[in-house]
Amino acid sequence: MYDIRQFKPTLYVLVMLGIIGFALAAQAPAIFLLAGGAVVANAWLVATNRFTPMPRLLANGITLLAFLFVAQQVVVLQTTPIIIVGQFLVLLQVVKLYEQRLNRDYAQLLVLSLLLMVAASITTASLFFGVLLIAYLFLSLYCCLLFHLKVETDHARSAYALAEDKVNPAILRQDQRYLSRSMRRLTGLVSGVAILTAIIVFLIFPRGTGANLLGPLQMRPSQSLTGFSDQMNFQQIANITQNTATVAYVNVWKQAWNNNDKTWDPEQAYGPASIYLRGTVLDRYEGTAESGWRWSRSAGGASSSNSSVGLETYQPGEELVVPRPVPEGGTRFRQYVTLLPTNTPNLFAMPYPTSFTPRKRPLRVRYVNRGGLLLSGEPLVQKVEYEVTSTEQQEALSPSYLQALERTPFHEYQSTIDPRIKQYLDEIEFGDLRDKLADPNTGKKGWAPNALDEEIARKIEQHLQQKFGYTLDLTEFGLTHGDDPIVRFLTEFKRGHCEYFAGAMTLLCQSLNIRSRVVIGFKCDEYSDSGNFYNVRQSHAHAWVEVQTPSGWKTFDPTSGRAFNDARSGLLQRMRSMLNFMEFTWATSVIAYDNENRDNLISNVNTRLDQTAVNSWPKVQGIIRWVQAQFEIFASRIVGPIMVLLVLGLVCSVIWFAWERWRLRRRAERIGLDILPTTDQLRLVRQLGFYDDLLRLLERHNMTRPVHQTPKEFADSLAFLPSETYDTVRRLTQIFYKIRFGRMKLTGPQQRRLHTVLHRLAHSLGPMPEKR
């Protein structure tokens, strides 16, 4: 019955874990710094005995003001309500720490910390937070057990009305010695049962696949690095900070067409080559010095096939077939995309999709043929999963479509192109193509592609890659108001991020009446060999160019790689791949566990059991046949010798048993147990063997016990021995009496300790005297 010293340190660690978890989920480091600093300061005040509880009236006033502020934030601001509630819980914990007086305050702290972790769990699906949550649950259980013990100890102390200095110190030492170990064992036992129960409940009762009750409370993440709106602005030049948050997990399978058999070959996992995931396409650049410059998507016209599939709801497994010609043969790619909330309607996929199939939940989808875009009916604020099949290339332009492009005037889709951009074409090494550039209209009718357009675009791409550098920091050049940012990029910056490269190449091509467009999406090469999937991050957001040629749209990536610094080594890359696989498994198998996952799990288990039973029976039969053959060999060659050995062993056992009985009876006679029944003789002689060894040791040193003396009288007669040796003989004699007449029983460790004492006694008696 003493003060539970482990409770307060555990409570402070638990509160800090809750604050760290919420700050991680809300991506708010300021909350961690402010609240964490307040907790550390409170712990220091308590540890140094300088803490004075805050008055109740002041604490209640702060709580009321915080509640009014939270209510105002929820009503006025368009933000995630659960984040505001979490901030309120953090403030309540800090207030409660500074007014702690009674056990009731500690209980409220435990409840507030648990509620804060619940709020954090609603807003994030991070693997790191999941690990932190597991550690928090174990620690919270341990803290609750300590708190219960503290409450009971306080009640017992008040009931006994004893000061701590009046309590028996032996009891306190006993409690201090065994409390920590017993608490850890109890925590481990309860945690093990809880984890096993949680796993069973998790596997049997999956979560729903649709929008759940907590869906509206979940935090909406920001858009990716470059954004996915229908416009791309260059209003402000800044230092763009890359965000490494995951946007999607993509599994890709490649399937080639076999021209000999006229069938598709089996699918194979595709990777680790880079993949492009399209989000939107922009083909018109316009603006003024006052309004700024931006990219947008043109309205369409005769020069473009604008057919699309209207916005419809597709059920899981229901396929959307795109309304465009699909080339025969070639290679196709099947992608399974797990897209996290992006707050945009874009459904990312590899170029040239031919079909789309939602998974696990219905999805409103529209396919736009102009650009080959897949769009949802509303911004995605929840995770979605879908399959897309894409072809390696587009169908070649049909004659009728080429005729429609020839009839389209040049100005139909013409961007606002500064004359300095056209003049910059003189800086590019076109070689033999320079004659064509002297008269751009030669051989071109309208927007119809020319056979040399692809070669011209390749020259522009190579020029930008070789002459320009990549950077995300353009702050030294200031704002772009007053001048075209693409012009400044070509003539002044000479470096920039992917949007500048893609925009510059598109305008250079359009200035030559080559139909081109900017594509915004993701370029990902972060492939996990462990799970055969791509981990698409916001930092993978990218812009590239597509140029129309007679054989369809071709992809060009003019962004320079001269400033890229890929520091990933072999070991680091493997570690990163393993971490990605763990995050992917956590997101798909734990966070997204639903009825379909459960059915697949049950089906896989049944299939494995069936396959194991089918495949194991021949192996079992083979083992039985092998055992039979070995038994025949054993019976023919080994049974005879073994029988002889068994007979010899039996004879030896009988001899050893008889000798052991004779030896025990001789020992019983020497000790003086021969007058007892045989059963009692054997029981006591095994316990009193140490005393017989003592007598024989003394006999070797010419100290023999006379027949008429009792063991105690014999021990008293050895008073001439050194005091330590004499005391040892007396203690051994006392043990003899406790066993002989007091029914004491020696355990195995006790018998070994007595043999050690006899060994030390023999050493203290010195060498045996020589016989005369």
- From CA 308, how far away is CA 321, in angstroms rounded? 11
User: Could you tell me the CA-to-CA distances from 500 to 465, 475, 504, 507 in Å, in that order?
Assistant: 12, 15, 6, 11
Examine the pLDDT at 604 and tell me if it is beyond 80.
no
Alpha-carbon distance values, 77 to 72, 390, 540 (Å): 8, 42, 31
Tell whether 252 and 186 lie within a shared domain. no
Q: Are residues 463 and 343 in the same domain?
A: yes
Domain C-terminal end among 154, 180, 215 = 215
What's the confidence (pLDDT) of residue 440? 58
Q: How many CA atoms within 13 Å lie on the side-chain side of 706?
A: 7
Question: Are residue 248 and residue 195 in the same domain, yes or no?
Answer: no
Lowest mean pLDDT across 40-54, 332-346, 578-592, 642-656: 578-592
Query: What gap in Å lies between CA 601 and CA 597, rounded to an integer?
Result: 6
Whether the pLDDT of residue 386 is over 80: the answer is yes
pLDDT above 70 for 471: yes
Non-local CB neighbours of 667 within 8 Å, separated by 6+ positions? 685, 689, 692
Q: What is the pLDDT of residue 763?
A: 85
pLDDT computed for residue 217 by the predictor: 44
- Examine residue 744 and state whether it is found in any structural domain, yes or no: yes
pLDDT at 349: 93
221: its two tokens? 């993440």
Q: Is 350 in the same domain as 498? A: yes
Report if residue 518 sits inside a domain: yes
pLDDT at 531: 77
The confidence score (pLDDT) of residue 539 equals: 84
- Answer with the one of 182, 215, 248 that is the final residue of a domain: 215
182 and 296 fall within a common domain: no
3-state secondary structure of 580: helix
CA gap 92, 557 in Å, rounded = 53
Cβ contacts of 754 within 8 Å, gap of 6 or more = 690, 732, 735, 746
| pLDDT score at 209 | 45
Domain match, 508 and 550 both: yes
Domain count along the chain: 3
For residues 171 and 288, state if they share a domain.
no
Where residue 129 falls among pLDDT bands split at 50, 70, 90? confident
Q: Which two tokens stand for residue 345?
A: 């309607």
Percent residues over pLDDT 70 in the chain: 74
- Using 50, 70 and 90 to split pLDDT, how confident is the model at 435? confident
Over residues 623-645, the mean pLDDT reads 73
More confident residue, 416 or 561: 416
Residues of the chain by 3-state class (helix, strand, coil), percent to 5: 55, 15, 30
Tens of pLDDT, residue by residue over 728-764, are 888 888 888 888 887 788 888 888 888 888 888 888 8
pTM of the model: 0.59
CA 285 to centroid of chain Cα atoms: 43
Q: Is residue 600 in a domain?
A: no
Give yes or no for residue 162 having a pLDDT over 60. Answer: no
What per-residue confidence (pLDDT) applies to 77?
A: 60
Residues 183 and 240 reside in one and the same domain? no
Which has the higher per-residue pLDDT, 620 or 170?
620
Mean pLDDT value across residues 134-150: 85
Q: What is the DSSP letter of 368?
A: E
Between 88 and 241, whose confidence is greater? 88
Q: What is the mean pLDDT of the chain?
A: 78
Residue 625 forms part of a structural domain:
no
What DSSP character marks residue 5? T
420 lies in the same domain as 561: yes
Q: How far apart are CA 193 and CA 486, in angstroms?
A: 64
Written as six digits, the tokens of 458 are 């390749």
The reply to whether 385 and 492 lie within a common domain is: yes
What is the per-residue pLDDT across 275-285, written as a single tens digit (0 to 9) for each? 999 989 988 88
Q: Which residue among 185, 215, 245 closes a domain?
A: 215
> What CA–CA distance (Å, rounded) separates 436 from 440?
6
pLDDT tens digits, one per residue of 178-222: 566 676 777 777 777 777 777 776 666 665 544 444 444 444 444
Q: How crowded is residue 616: how many other Cβ atoms within 10 Å of its Cβ?
A: 11
**What pLDDT sits at residue 303?**
40
Number of residues assigned to the chain: 772
Q: How far is CA 523 from the centre of its chain?
A: 24
Of residues 532 and 457, which shows the higher confidence score?
457
| 240 and 199 both lie in a single domain | no
Coil vs helix vs strand at 137: helix
466-478 mean pLDDT: 79
The percentage of the chain sitting over the pLDDT mark of 90, rounded to a whole number, equals 10
Q: What pLDDT is attached to residue 178?
A: 59
Q: Write out the residue range of the structural domain in which residue 257 sits.
A: 232-581
Measure the CA–CA gap between 73 and 85, rounded to whole angstroms: 10
Residue 252 contacts residue 534 (beta carbons within 8 Å): yes
Single-letter amino acid, residue 734 = Q
Whether residue 614 lies inside any domain: the answer is no
Q: What does the pLDDT read at residue 299?
A: 63
Question: Same domain for 44 and 146?
Answer: yes
pLDDT of residue 587: 66
Q: What's the pLDDT tens digit per position in 103-120? A: 888 888 888 888 888 888
Q: Which residue is listed with tokens 């510059």?
A: 504
Query: Considering the domain boundaries, does residue 265 fall inside one?
Result: yes
Residue in 568, 589, 456, 564 with CA at minimum distance from that of residue 510: 456
In a domain, 592, yes or no: no
pLDDT at 179: 62
- Alpha-carbon distance values, 499 to 60, 174, 489, 566 (Å): 54, 72, 11, 21
Give the pLDDT band (50/70/90) at residue 237. low
Is 114 a domain residue?
Answer: yes
676 has a pLDDT exceeding 50: yes
Q: Tell me, what's the pLDDT at 766?
A: 79
For 478, the token pair is 């200031």
